[in-house]
Structure 1
């Protein structure tokens, strides 16, 4: 047998194991509301190749490839336990078991590591929570995809309605088509049908009522069977408490804004300050995509090294707010063609840091350049630290943060030397540290942080909504503090 034959045989063996994982992962998700992860990446509804690629990606952050032959025993061990709703990271189980050294069996170690989700400790499966989308643009449609994807277990969040202004001719058909196909994010994973007579879009069995209105105070959501819902306003039309309070209609319990909030509206970056949300708070903001990208790594650096001051330069993909060709615009420069120019513009992300990270007593400045790409941006975060360090130390620290800290769902890490912006389309993290571009000189550090300003941000919004709705289940093994 040749070396090539050995490689192919090994691939076929791993492919067979990955294939046998799929029904186990699906059953745990549907019957016990357990989301199986691999280094914070969900394996639910993933193909054989996707499962294998996710395992291989572990080498980028852990320094060595993770094989399905290592994780499969832990997945099998989970099936032997009386598990309650939870998120269980089999990548972390394998990594911590490797370093344990007590001689426990895989079954013994797994039972101990996820004890908080078993037997008398497990939490009860909760009824689904209604969600309404006010607006159905770029962010609205991606949030819809995520909500539909996460509705598989029948619990958690359930998208019940979208509210839009009625367009001319076949409005609902066109909106369904935009949900079905996306030039950047690809095809919708599933099936979509339209019930024009009842003004509904049915996506993977989820019936979504399309409500036509241009006035939030004119909608009675209970008339559509919606109750105690969380409304996500992705129009950005209202940003202060007075304006957003218009959404608090019959059937709506809370309002979440997908833009920076003004005045006393809390700006939340999940993973950093979501625990400050008061139970009786009815209106909150998820800040901006750039704020979500810079605040988690900024907190990580401040916690370890201290930060005296910083500057963030954002190289941002163009957005619908800009003109395709030169035309009148209310803001300076944004009237010039987005597809043909680099456009200097303002960003409120730096000033928003103070709201999300008030304990950081350091001035942070910022500016932004819009560039001719449709998605994925990069934030260049330049920091003056309280102590000197080295590039190797910073990278080792941030890699560990991305693997096993409370910020592991927000911060990703990549060491690929040829990474470019399109590689990060579809990333579910708030930001991705580019190891190759990182620069450290004494007490000065410059971090290059990629982020999918559409999809990654939408994932952060969903995490906030899960948290305030009470369906954010605990993760095991628990991340290191």
Structure 2
């Protein structure tokens, strides 16, 4: 048999193994609210090829490819346990098991590693918590996709309604079509139908009421059977406590803003300061996409090396706030054609660092350039560190943070030498460290951080909502602190 034949036979064998994983992963998710991860990447509802590609991608961060032959026994072991709601990373299980020298079987090791999610230790399954989207633009539709995807067994978060201004004939059909097809993020994974008589969109069995209103005061959510809901404001029209408080109508318990909050509105970056949210806080912000991109790696660097000062320059994809062609705009330069120019503009991300990292006393400055790409941006973070180090040490630290720390859902790591912006469309991390571009000279470090400013940010928004509603389930093995 030739080498070519050997490779193809190996591929077919791995396909068969990955295919056998799918029903087990599905049942764990639907029946027990267990999400199976591979190095922080969900394997729920993934195809055979997607599962194999996720295993192969592990070589980018862990240094060697994971095989489905290594991880299958852990999935099989999970199906035999009395598991409660949780997230279980089989990549980490396999990695830790290989280093364990006690001679335990995979089943014994797995039972021990996830003991906090089994038997008398497991947490109760949550009752569904209603979610309302106020606005249905770029971020609103991606958050909707994520909420529908995560509906799982029907517990957790349940998207009940979207609130929009009426747009004329066939409004609901056009909005459903925009949810179904996206020029950047591709087709919706599932089925979407429209019930015009009931003003509802049905997506993967989830009935989502479309409510038409020009102002928050026009809506009584209890009239639609919505109660104790989280409202996610995607419009950015109101950014202070007074304005956002208008959403606290009958049926709404908390308001989450998908833009930087002003005044005393808490700006939350999940993974960094989400634990500071007070239980009785009704209004909070998820800050900006750029703040979410720079704060996690900034914290990782500050914790390890100390940071004396820094500057962030973002090269940011254009947004709907800019004009397609030159036209009037209230901002100085955003009126110039977005697809035809690089546009210097301001960013509030640097000043927002103080809200997310109040213990960091280092001054951080920032600026931004909008460029003619529709999605994925890069933040260039230049830091003066508290001590000298080397490029190799910094990369080892950030790789380890991306694999084992509490920031592993926020920080990703790539060693691909030919990586470009479009490679990161659909990334669920808020920041991806480009190892090849990283520069370190003594106490100066420059990090190049890719981020999907639409989808990665939307994932952060959903994580914050999961946290404040109590449906953010624990992860096993527990991240290293």
One fold, TM greater than 0.5?
yes
After TM superposition, list the pairs within 5 Å mapping 1:307-322 onto structure 2.
307-322=307-322
TM-score (norm 2): 1.00
Segments ≥4 residues shifted beyond 2 Å = none
Deviation digits for residues 152-183 of structure 1 (CA, Å, limit 9, x no counterpart): 21111000000000001100000000000000
SS in 1 for 2:310: strand
> What value does the CA root-mean-square deviation take over the aligned residues?
0.4
Partner Cα separation in structure 2 for residue 207 and residue 56 of structure 1: 37
Query: Structure 2: which 5+ runs fail to align?
Result: none
SS in 1 for 2:352: helix
Partner Cα separation in structure 1 for residue 334 and residue 314 of structure 2: 16
SS in 2 for 1:416: coil
| Residues 1:295 and 2:295 aligned together | yes
TM-superposed deviation, 1:470: 0.5
SS in 1 for 2:81: coil
**For residue 372 of structure 2, what is the aligned residue in structure 1?**
372
| Residues 1:423 and 2:423 aligned together | yes
Deviation digits for residues 398-433 of structure 1 (CA, Å, limit 9, x no counterpart): 000000000000000000000000000000000000
Whether the 8 Å CA contact 2:33–2:152 is kept in 1: the answer is no
After TM superposition, list the pairs within 5 Å mapping 1:128-167 onto structure 2.
128-167=128-167
- The number of aligned residues is 481
**For residue 67 of structure 1, what is the aligned residue in structure 2?**
67
Deviation digits for residues 261-302 of structure 1 (CA, Å, limit 9, x no counterpart): 000000000000000000000000000000000000000000
Whether the 8 Å CA contact 2:402–2:411 is kept in 1: the answer is yes
Query: Structure 1: which 5+ runs fail to align?
Result: none
**For residue 78 of structure 1, what is the aligned residue in structure 2?**
78
**For residue 395 of structure 2, what is the aligned residue in structure 1?**
395
**For residue 440 of structure 2, what is the aligned residue in structure 1?**
440
Deviation digits for residues 356-375 of structure 1 (CA, Å, limit 9, x no counterpart): 00010100000000000000
Partner Cα separation in structure 2 for residue 64 and residue 142 of structure 1: 32
**For residue 270 of structure 1, what is the aligned residue in structure 2?**
270
SS in 1 for 2:71: helix
SS in 2 for 1:254: strand
Whether the 8 Å CA contact 2:35–2:88 is kept in 1: the answer is yes
**For residue 470 of structure 1, what is the aligned residue in structure 2?**
470
Partner Cα separation in structure 2 for residue 130 and residue 206 of structure 1: 12
**For residue 39 of structure 2, what is the aligned residue in structure 1?**
39
After TM superposition, list the pairs within 5 Å mapping 1:228-307 onto structure 2.
228-307=228-307
TM-score (norm 1): 1.00
**For residue 188 of structure 1, what is the aligned residue in structure 2?**
188
Whether the 8 Å CA contact 2:314–2:378 is kept in 1: the answer is yes
Partner Cα separation in structure 2 for residue 217 and residue 299 of structure 1: 40
**For residue 176 of structure 2, what is the aligned residue in structure 1?**
176
Partner Cα separation in structure 1 for residue 37 and residue 165 of structure 2: 38
